[in-house]
Amino acid sequence: MELLYEGKGKRLFATNNPDEVIAFFKDDLTAFNAQKKSSEEGKGKLNCAITTLLFELLQSHGIATHFVRKHSENEIVCKRVQIIPIEVVVRNVATGSLTKRLGVREGTILNELVEFYYKNDSLGDPLINDEHALLLGCVPHTNLLEQLRKEARAVNAILTPFFAKRNLRLIDFKLEFGLDSGNALLLADEITPDSCRFWDATSNEKLDKDRFREDLGNVKMAYEEVLSRILS
């Protein structure tokens, strides 16, 4: 298979169908714009399984996504899209960069705060506003930015109660979107403990990539726990 692109967590391959690609989930772990790197055997399979179940869940609730089907333990088939270079972050509880940047107290409950970050590794994915997004040509018009916010909130409205039933708090998460060959907006990339923060609702134990970022250990066990709760 022809390698189209290699990112920090996935490799993208061409298929015989020009409208479809295969995403391979790697075991690599990176944080702080890849300044911290490691690998966790079996993480790719866990993320592939988690993303499959969550995209299927979202699709069953009417969210348009790039997900087509699971292909193997580490691979999914996706619709080929042009990725919009914006990371859409939804925050339900203050932590991470929000607390550092604005001094908001860790754990403050937020009313689904939506933020845009410019997807650009050499600039360190800076926070941007709508006018910056237009200036940078990330989107052709403001309506698309409104659509991104609306879709991100719709995803939150499905995922937050889904995880709450499984005794997990969805603290925050990052989404990416793309446009398909017909210019339809599709939710793309992945939804995994690499891209979301999950806290156990009873103990507030972190069950996501923060275990790697903060050297808390048991990274794989946390991802396994998230998968087993999704399956429960």
- Cβ atoms of 78 and 68 closer than 8 Å: yes
Distances (CA, A) of 76 to 4, 45, 50, 52, 68: 15, 11, 11, 8, 7
Nearer to ligand UDP, 76 or 93 (CB): 93
Decide: is 197 part of the binding site for ligand UDP (CB under 6 A): yes
Minimum CB distance to ligand UDP smaller for 75 or for 208: 208
For the bound state, the minimum distance from the C-beta of residue 200 to ligand UDP, rounded and expressed in Å, comes to 16
CB of 137 to ligand UDP, least distance (A): 20
Backbone angles phi, psi at 43, to 5 degrees: -65, -40
CB closer to ligand UDP out of 69 and 153: 153
Give whole-number Cα distances, 6 to 40, 113, 151, 194, in Å: 18, 30, 26, 16
Q: Minimum CB separation from ligand UDP for residue 141, in Å?
A: 25
Nearest residue to ligand UDP, by Cβ distance, number only? 96
209: contact with ligand UDP by CB under 6 A: yes
For ligand UDP, the closer of residues 11 and 174 by Cβ is 174
Beta bridge partners of 22: 13, 77
Least separation in angstroms between residue 130's CB and ligand UDP is 18
Contact 30, 36 (CB under 8 A): yes
Lookup: tokens for 96: 């991470």
Given the rule CB under 6 A, which of 10-18, 102-110, 138-146, 172-180 is the region that contacts ligand UDP? Answer: 172-180
Per CB under 6 A, which of residues 74..113 are in contact with ligand UDP? 87, 89, 96-98
Residue type, 146: E
Distance of alpha carbon 10 from alpha carbon 204, whole angstroms: 29
Q: Can residue 125 be called a binding residue for ligand UDP (CB under 6 A)?
A: yes
Burial of residue 88, with CB atoms counted within 10 A of its CB: 0-12 exposed, 13-18 middle, 19 or more buried: buried
Q: Which lies closer to ligand UDP via its Cβ, residue 50 or residue 89?
A: 89
Quote the CA–CA distance of 224 and 206 in Å, as a whole number: 13
| Interface pattern 22-61 for ligand UDP (x via CB under 6 A) | ----------------------------------------
Nearer to ligand UDP, 76 or 193 (CB): 193
Provide the 10 A C-beta neighbour count for residue 227. 18
| Residues contacting ligand UDP: total by CB under 6 A | 13
Residues that bind ligand UDP (CB under 6 A): 87, 89, 96-98, 125, 172-174, 195-197, 209
